[in-house]
Structure 1
Amino acid sequence: RHKMLFNFFHNLLGIDATIAKEDACKIEHYLNPKTLEYILKFL
């Protein structure tokens, strides 16, 4: 989950790697698994 979110933020949205890592770490605990599934499909 963390790696997927990091890749979404950093590679797709272009967010700085440090910020993307921090945000991925924080947000992965709050997103519904279904939301993560849809993000993965999008990627």
Structure 2
Amino acid sequence: MIWDLELDGAVDRPPLVGPDGYLYIVTDKGSLYKILDAGNP
């Protein structure tokens, strides 16, 4: 595993990759996470 992230609830729908390269995740608590994998330096 390269990285992990603890969210505030379960992921109730598939994550989406936006045209900006970010991963968007919505939890069952209604939170929206915008994540960028910057990779290894």
TM-score by length of 1: 0.25
By relative contact order (CA 8 Å, sep 6+), the higher-ranking structure is 1
Q: Which has the higher helix share?
A: 1
Specify the structure having the higher radius of gyration (Cα): 2
